Structure 1
Amino acid sequence: MDIKKLAAEVKDYVIELRREFHMYPEKSGEEIRTSRRIKEELDKMGILNTNAGGTGIIATIKGEKPGKTVALRADMDALEVSEKNDKPYKSKNEGLMHACGHDGHTAMLLGVAKILSEIKSELPGTVKLIFQPAEEVAQGALRMIDDGAMDGVDNIFGMHLWSGLPTGKVSVEAGPRMAAVDVFDITVQGKGGHGSAPHEGVDAVVVASNIVMALQTIVSREFTPLEPLVVTVGKLVAGTRFNVLASEAKLEGTNRYFNPKTKDVLPQAIERIAKQVAAGYRAEAYVNYKFATSPVINDLESSSLAAKAAEKIVGRDGLVEYEKVMGGEDFAEYLKLAPGVFALVGIGNEKKGTNYPHHNPNFDLDEDVLEIGVALYLQYALDYLNQN
């Protein structure tokens, strides 16, 4: 079976779908139009599918030969980003954009579905296609799992189109690949007053600012420098006008790491510093901490299988090693239930302007890579199912 030829035959179909999804991006958990279009395409192919995880869809293709079950996963939500690209397929939904490649993931998996629907007589086992919502808020995977996405699954494969890798290069290393994601918010309670008499109040802006700075010492002074750890405060809101002492400040942030033991001590460090810094300024701090998703850790055997599959598609030179990243992915939740692998597939092409960082308003895909993604999904699934 010529996988590359089969992928080439659906290339135009996949590009057309990707552009449609790009024009109509939807927020996490609100992917109503996207979900409807996925279902319409699957129904045309005669593929059994069910809703799951709210707006997600699980499609099942059973081969005519008995065998194991492998799952392929794509995410489908967009981001609250205003697109700056001037392309015919530019986002039509103001303030929303597919700035991370999920439109490509969804389109590629539909391309895989189209091929599988035509070759299922040769399929030794079952392929589950997981179209997942709400990845950007780390909620979709668990919702899909609750609705049966991993029931009966023996192995799972996912991928992310990646602008940090040159076009067509593939990374499937074993071990840690993407970081755990925790999120926290801190409310600082001070005492309002007139800006001209700061001694009569407790300035929540000053307190919050010192908490932000103090939190940076967690990485540099409380954890080993031999293991990656990020503590970031991404949002600080306080005050109502220039001459009023802020009585309250709210901070929001995220932590990233790979060592599972970190989650046992990091929340306590955040709370200790926030509360004690606040107390030093006669204020109070209240911390809310949540574990969003675990680190993505690729299974050794699955990574080996994926590497062999990738070599068949992009050649030995196309398979590269790429440093693990501090970005998070709730694909990790699937890996808790079955061995699998998460691949990074390069789309970085300076000439085509597809080397912007993810979540950037100028982010775009090198659409020639979509064909590679389809082939890699398919090759991995077939190689897994055809193992002795």
Structure 2
Amino acid sequence: MSVQAICDYLKKSQDDIIRTYEELHLLAEPSWQEEKTSQYLADRLRAAGLAVRTYPGHFGLTVDIEGEESGFVGLRADMDALVQEVNGVVKPNHSCGHDGHSTMVLYAALAFAAAGIRPKKSVRFLFQPAEEKVGGALQMIKDGALEGVEMLFGVHVRPLMELANGTAAPAIIHGASATVHGTISGLQAHASRPERGKNVIETAAVLIHSLQNIRLQAGCPFSVKMTQLSAGGETSNVIPDKATFKLDVRAQSNEGMRELQEKIRHVTDHVAQLMGTPIEWSIPGEVPAAILNEQAAGIMREAIAHVLGAENAKPPCVSPGGEDFHFYTYEKPELAGTMLGLGCGLSPGLHHPEMSFDTKALVSGAQILATALYNAASGKEV
């Protein structure tokens, strides 16, 4: 079966694709708890005659289609939902499009199964847990899901401000991101005798101001903002002796992130000495920046042109957001990887509790992904 036949199969499946998305949307489950979502996907894959591999301790799964030669080309989807307040109720909510990503990758697999394709290189479909909690990709690597994979594709729906509906980008250049958890230790005193205490709130104020003065070399875009601060109790006349804070830290490159963390360390040491209040902090989790791979992006660009037309293949999207897909290429530098940025009329924005998009774009997204996968597995040059 040719690439065009695969695309025709997916086009004929439009109603089924949208129905699948709607069913996955209702199954929204938090990170590491994607049991029903994983079971739904596994049942659909097995019904198509595909062998599903599961993993102990989480709900990730993979499916292989054996090729004629060694080596794999992979396609990854994330499955988890955010937990956020929607109409006054805190619940799991698919406001980042992972239900759409799983739908597209599922139907790419179903298209390959329906075609009875035995590609030159083997093909692996990965359904990953816990992207939102930043750990799912690392767990899949640890469990061997990337063994033998030489090229890996991913996908993410993009906001309307980045890509118009009916367009797509062959790569998403996400930045690096990290969360800092910190503690400021001071000395408690009655507010009528402030000279006897060391006010951690005042230290936090100096810290916020000092962080705003950070600059990076080579003009790398970055951001460091205090997003949480907690100090004292309900009493208003006591100088608190303990404060906890969190920083959201972002840089557009991995080198910029390393420089930024070093400057944060310098600032906190200086403020702690200046105010006489020790500051301790750690980074419990961080995500690396994307590393653009021209080969993988070239294959994706050609697939976009085939499905949407060359005029709708846009330059790579540059996003200040983070994505744990990039752990795959960061931890395995020999791996060629890229993420399809899919324009789909998405508004008001990712992670907004009322996020919505044109679900018909899932059809073209599945076509692009299947085309890129087929071409890469066939060894087609770009």
- TM-score (ref. length: structure 1): 0.89
Alpha-carbon distance, 1:151 to partner: 0.8
5+ residue gaps, structure 1: 86-92, 349-353
1:34–1:202 distance in 2 versus 1, CA, 3 Å = same
The aligned residue for residue 109 of structure 2 is 113
Q: Distance in 2 between matches of 1:137 and 1:196?
A: 44
Structure 2 Cα separation of the partners of residues 66 and 179 of structure 1: 35
Instruction: For residues 152-205 of structure 1, give each alpha carbon's deviation from its aligned partner in whole angstroms, at most 9, with x where no partner exists.
Output: 1121111111113111211115xx811122221110112233344433322222
More off after superposition, 187-196 vs 143-152: 187-196
> How far apart are 1:380 and its partner, in Å?
0.3
- Give the alignment's Cα RMSD to 1 decimal: 2.2
- Kindly state the Cα deviation for residue 315 of structure 1 after the two structures are TM-superposed: 0.5
Could you tell me which residue of structure 2 aligns to residue 144 of structure 1?
A: 140
Deviation at 1:5, TM superposition (A): 1.4
Superposed displacement of residue 129, structure 1 = 0.7
What is the CA-CA distance between 1:356 and the residue it aligns to?
A: 1.1
Show the counterpart of 1:368: 360
Is 1:58 aligned with 2:67? no
- Give the CA deviation at 1:233: 2.1
Match of 1:362, SS? Answer: coil
Taking the aligned partners of 1:335 and 1:376, their CA distance within structure 2 comes to: 21
* Native 8 Å contact 1:275 1:286 kept in 2: no
Displacement after TM superposition at 1:96 (Å): 2.1
Which position in structure 1 is the counterpart of 2:178?
A: 182
Distance in 2 (CA, whole Å) between partners of 1:197 and 1:250 is 23
Preserved contact between residue 303 and residue 369 of structure 2 (Cα < 8 Å): no
Deviations 1:76-112 (A, max 9, x none): 1111222359xxxxxxx84321111111001111111
Residue by residue over 1:133-154, the C-alpha shift from the partner in whole angstroms, topping out at 9 and shown as x without a partner, is 1112221111001111111112
Task: Tell me which residue corresponds to 1:377.
Answer: 369
Write the letter of the residue equivalent to 2:181: D
Q: How far apart are 1:66 and its partner, in Å?
A: 4.2
1:351 aligns with: none
Q: How much does 1:322 deviate?
A: 4.6
Identity across matched positions, percent: 26
1:5 and 2:8 matched? yes
Aligned residue type for 2:105: L
The 5 A counterparts of 1:193-204 are 193-204=189-200
Query: CA 1:211–1:382 in 2, change beyond 3 Å: closer, same or farther?
Result: same
CA 119–205 in structure 1, closer or farther in 2 if over 3 Å, else same: same
In structure 1, which of residues 335, 347, 354 is the aligned counterpart of residue 344 of structure 2? 347
| 1:324 and 2:318 are equivalent in the alignment | yes
Aligned mates of 1:120, 1:234 — CA distance in 2: 51
Alignment coverage as a number of residue pairs: 370
The partner residue of 2:126 within 123, 127, 130 is 130
Specify the SS of the correspondent of 1:218. Answer: coil
Match of 1:161 among 157, 162, 172: 157
Q: Which amino acid aligns with 1:334?
A: Y
Equivalent in the alignment of 2:226: 233
Kept in 1, the 8 Å contact 2:250–2:257? The answer is no
Give the Å deviation of 1:318.
1.2
Which residue of structure 1 aligns with residue 243 of structure 2?
249
Matched-pair contact (CA < 8 Å) for 2:176–2:257: no
CA contact (8 A) 1:61 1:120 kept: no
Partners of 2:50 and 2:324 lie apart in 1 by 26
Q: Is the 8 A contact 2:78 2:129 kept in 1?
A: yes
For 2:290 and 2:155, locate their aligned partners in 1 and report how far apart those are by CA, in whole Å. Answer: 12
Give the match for residue 387 of structure 1: 379
Q: Which amino acid is 1:344 matched to?
A: G
Gaps of 5+ in 2: none
Q: Is the 8 A contact 2:65 2:118 kept in 1?
A: no
Does the CA contact (< 8 Å) of 1:187 and 1:285 recur in 2? yes
Which residue in 1 is equivalent to 2:207?
211
* Structure 1 residues 295 and 47, CA gap change in structure 2 (3 angstroms): same
Counterpart of 2:268 in structure 1 is: 274
Distance 1:9-1:66 versus aligned 2 partners, 3 A rule: farther
The partner residue of 1:73 within 63, 71, 76 is 76
1:242 Cα deviation after fit: 5.0
Which has the higher mean CA deviation after the structures are superposed, 207-216 or 142-151? 207-216
Alignment correspondent of 1:42: 45
Given that residues 54 and 60 in structure 2 are in contact (C-alpha distance below 8 angstroms), is that contact kept between their aligned partners in structure 1?
yes
Q: How far apart are 1:228 and its partner, in Å?
A: 1.4
How far the C-alpha of 1:67 sits from its partner, in A, is 6.2
* Distance across 1 between alignment mates of 2:120 and 2:87: 46
AA at the equivalent of 1:384: A
* Separation in structure 2 between the aligned mates of residue 137 and residue 253 of structure 1, nearest angstrom: 16
Verify the 8 A CA contact 1:35 1:56 in the aligned structure 2.
yes
1:224 pairs with one of 207, 217, 232: 217
CA distance in 1, matches of 2:206, 2:285: 24
1:346 and 1:84 mapped to 2: Cα distance?
Answer: 27
